[in-house]
Amino acid sequence: MPLLDRYTAPADRYDELLASNGKPRAHWEGVIQHLDWLGPRALREARESMQRQIASNGVTYNVYADPRGADRPWDLDLLPQVLPAEEWHEIAAAIRQRATLLNAVLRDLYGSQKLIADGQLPASIIQGHPGFLRACHGIKAPGGIHLHLYAADIARSPDGHWWVVSDRTQAPSGAGYALENRALLGSQFPELLRKLRVQPLSPFFQTLRDSLAQWAPRDDEAPLIVLLTPGALNETYFEHAYLARHMGIPLVEGQDLTVRNGAVFLKTLAGLRRVHAIMRRTDDSWCDPMELRSESALGVPGLVDVARKGGVLIANALGSGLIESGALLGYLPAVCEHLLGEELAMPSVATWWCGEEEALEEVAERIDSLVIKNAYGFAAEGPVFGGDLDEAAREALISRIKEQPRNFVGQEMVHLSRSPIWGPLTGSLEARLTGLRVYAAATPNGYIVMPGGLSRVAGVKDTRVITIQRGGGSKDTWVLAGAQEELALPTQPADNYPTIITEHDHGTLASRTGESMFWLARHVERADCALRLLRCGLRQQLFAEDTEWPALYAAGLRCGVIPRRLATDKPLSPQATLLNALMDENFAGGPINNLRNVIRLARSLRDRLAPDSWRMYARLERLTASWMRGAHTLSDALEFLDQSLLALITLAGYSMEHMTRDASWRFQSIGRRVERMQFLATALEVLLVPDKGSPALASLIDLSDAVLTYRRRYQRAPERGPVAELLLTDRDNPRAFLYQLESLADHVGQLPGQLPADVSTPLRLLVENLLARKPEDWVSSSAETAALRGLLQASWLEGNALANALQNRYFSHLDVRTTVS
């Protein structure tokens, strides 16, 4: 076995691969043989292929302060962690017991608190715990289940026994990464997985989802389950999206949900839909600004009260973070005997809670051999290794502990086991310290344990802390089925499950997504109009044809493309005015802020944008950044304008040619039309039929991208009549005013659900008015031009009214009370 040539067993640690005689353990043999048979070159290729897959699937882990950027690619080793059936059965039984126990403890502490009355736990263990949510005390969890998904970090000591290092009880992360790891490794070694009879993971998630549906409050609808995420900036956001997709449930943020009359609703474009269960990844105290942390913008106001009334299932129940506390560990063996009448199957790593005076003394005495942690599990208070400290630092730590002893625990250090990783640089096996996170889910028949888990390995050869936040890697975990054992059934495609809400069904597109799409399209169009106006002006300067400058300047001011200047400001030349407008970062609503809004919104929608269109947004971002850094010369500006307009046109074309005509597309189209209609209304008013001064027809034609068409169709210098025909009432010109109005009316008519009738009526009446006269008549007298100005202004206002109506009806759901009751 050449792969093992340079890998040796350590004397002082348990090695996952090698037994103490230096031979591979039996359950590893199949893996090693297979890898040896493949040979180093195939392994290298397998790893590269896996890396490519990680990049193209966008598997990331966001690290807040990572030089590699916000989205760090996921780090997965080519070798799995392998566990044999017999050993796994013991682990699984212990985890089942522990989940059952911790659930019972939670139920007690948020209810009768008999454990405290009976002297099993000191009251101070919860009284001083910031994670004890007093607002949630007394809330009955459906089915008595607080803990729907539980995770334990376990580690193996030199004698081969497993220990629990910590419990994850409020919103355990990593199960989705474990699933993705399996998909990645499975695609490299499909035959090996079959041959070794590796237990599949996905049935676990299906069971979890079905169990949630079981306990969710019932009404006459199929239960709707959602996954609540704090948002795209969260470190494990990838996993939230991945799990939601895998489980076939909508991924939502707090603002997508609303509470009405004792129930939770999802704001969808088709109206409010009752939510029966929330699987949350938002931490306890951030879930409801009403009764928990009032500064939280991530939560759903009123959620606690709905839970109190039993109107929604929240998994895990609010307040479950309470028992992640290291302070609890020391009491668990006795509590287990007391509640379950059983011995605790898997011990916790020895932990002393300094809230007890004797423990405090013990910790102070043995501090050199202990890790000191925050008793309430707050990561901000990172673990401190007593042995690392010099005399002064040790004294300082001890006095900090004595100042608030209840905030600290001292924990023995685990001599972690080692596992081999395949080192891409050396092409051979290297040893890394490892730990395993395992998962249990509540079902009506008790807890089940996911056969596998997220194995984590230290990032460098010797380190004591394994966290992915600090650069460790991960491994897929293979639990081998025993000879007599059947594999869990592979999961059925999620499609036939009643809770599935696919987003093809426009009725369930989350309102926030529709809203962001709407605003993205508006900002794209607004940027297009603004850049066009600036380009038109700068070209005129370049060719010294600026007789229309006063009119163009007026149009720029009215459209918010050129900033208003105070009378006291130094007068600027036209060219300086235009360049200034293009680079002023403080100009609210100005072109640069506009482009930045485009980029910001595109980022927030990144999951929903096709890779090609995302690339175009990224290009726009680069162009903007490099223009802002540059020297701001006239030629730079024209180059920037040409390139950005090209990118914007490409995006518009993408939307026409590549997007499905679903509700999201409909909202984007409306957003685009509203902006263009408003821009045209103002441009026509100022440039075609100005109140005073003369029209600026050449500019108007240029702004409307109609230079060629006009020349071809009329073959003469710009005149008001033909321009009016081409830009005002030409039904077939997508840059004509009439086209915008008709297209808007058409889109509005096809929106899902019922809009109040008066939303599209004004649009149709405006169209009627516009068509009541021939185009040339509109510009035939001052009375007519005044009438046209009135019509254009009314249309502009109608654009705002329409946007507000959509906002209320589809995004904020402020006018839908009648549909709720």
In the complex, which residues of this chain contact another protein (CB under 8 A)? 113, 116-117, 119, 122-124, 127-128, 134-135, 137-138, 255, 258-262, 289-291, 294-295, 297, 301-302, 305, 355-357, 403-404, 406, 512, 515-516, 519, 523, 588-589, 593, 597, 600-601, 604, 807, 811-812, 814, 817, 820
Shortest distance (Å) from residue 306 CB to another protein: 10
Q: What are 412's strand-pairing partners?
A: 370
What is the number of helices (H) and of strands (E) in the chain?
Answer: 27, 21
Rounded-to-integer distance, Cα 568 and Cα 54, Å? 58
Shortest distance (Å) from residue 127 CB to another protein: 5
Rounded-to-integer distance, Cα 476 and Cα 718, Å? 70
Token pair of 520 as six digits: 């993205």
Rounded-to-5 percentages of helix, strand, coil across the chain: 50, 15, 35
Which CB atom, from 122 or from 158, has the smaller least distance to another protein?
Answer: 122
Which CB atom, from 397 or from 698, has the smaller least distance to another protein?
Answer: 397
What sign does the CA torsion over 516, 522, 524, 527 have?
negative
Which CB atom, from 134 or from 194, has the smaller least distance to another protein?
Answer: 134
Which CB atom, from 546 or from 607, has the smaller least distance to another protein?
Answer: 607
Which CB atom, from 33 or from 808, has the smaller least distance to another protein?
Answer: 808
Shortest distance (Å) from residue 481 CB to another protein: 47
For 505, the 3-state DSSP assignment is: coil
Placement of tokens 């490299």 in the chain: 188
Shortest distance (Å) from residue 674 CB to another protein: 12
Shortest distance (Å) from residue 821 CB to another protein: 9
Rounded-to-integer distance, Cα 118 and Cα 329, Å? 18
Secondary structure (DSSP) of 118-149: TTSS-THHHHT-TT--GGGTTPPPGGG-S-SE
Residue 58, sorted as left (phi over 0), alpha (psi -120 to 50) or beta, turns out to be left
Contact 216, 142 (CB under 8 A): yes
Shortest distance (Å) from residue 799 CB to another protein: 13
Which CB atom, from 422 or from 587, has the smaller least distance to another protein?
Answer: 587
Of 691, 721, 678, which is closest to residue 786 (Cα–Cα)? 691
Which CB atom, from 126 or from 336, has the smaller least distance to another protein?
Answer: 126
Shortest distance (Å) from residue 214 CB to another protein: 27
For 313, the 3-state DSSP assignment is: strand
Contact 414, 425 (CB under 8 A): no
Shortest distance (Å) from residue 117 CB to another protein: 5
Would you state the torsion angle of the CA atoms of residues 285, 470, 47, 4, taken in this order, to the nearest 10 degrees?
-120
Which CB atom, from 262 or from 446, has the smaller least distance to another protein?
Answer: 262
Of 416, 422, 421, 420, which is closest to residue 436 (Cα–Cα)? 416
Shortest distance (Å) from residue 114 CB to another protein: 9
For 326, the 3-state DSSP assignment is: helix
Which CB atom, from 289 or from 695, has the smaller least distance to another protein?
Answer: 289
Q: Which amino acid appears at position 228 of this protein?
A: L
- Adjacency order of strands within the sheet including 257-260: 257-260, 263-268, 271-275
Shortest distance (Å) from residue 624 CB to another protein: 17
Which CB atom, from 135 or from 659, has the smaller least distance to another protein?
Answer: 135
Shortest distance (Å) from residue 453 CB to another protein: 35
Which CB atom, from 95 or from 816, has the smaller least distance to another protein?
Answer: 816
Rounded-to-integer distance, Cα 632 and Cα 639, Å? 11
Rounded-to-integer distance, Cα 726 and Cα 708, Å? 12
